[in-house]
Amino acid sequence: MHVLQSKHIKLKPEEAKVLLEKLNISPSQLPKIKKKDPALPEDAEVGSIIKIERKTATGKVNYYRVVVP
């Protein structure tokens, strides 16, 4: 991973469940990220939820994506 690239972390199933309940959405309602994206962790599978940590001037912001084929 390049030093300027945002950190991509695969959520554990229980973490994903808590996130989806908190946001009151289903995985299909999350933005998508392709399985072939080079930034994805090696263990990411189709249907996995990925947390993307981006640094901003005021701190960190988390974004979430679901892996699609």
Strand order in 49-56's β-sheet? 7-10, 49-56, 59-68, 32-34
Give the global pTM: 0.86
Is residue 49 within 8 Å of residue 30, measured between CB atoms? yes
16-64, pLDDT tens digit by residue? Answer: 999 999 999 999 999 999 999 998 998 999 999 999 999 889 899 999 9
Burial (CB count <10 Å: 0-12, 13-18, 19+), residue 63: middle
Fold for 7-68, please state it. Eukaryotic RPB6 RNA polymerase subunit (3.90.940)
**What is the Cα–Cα distance from 10 to 67, expressed in whole angstroms?**
10
Q: For residue 1, what pLDDT is reported?
A: 62
Q: Per-domain residue ranges for the chain?
A: 7-68
Q: How confident is the model at residue 5 (pLDDT cuts 50, 70, 90)?
A: confident
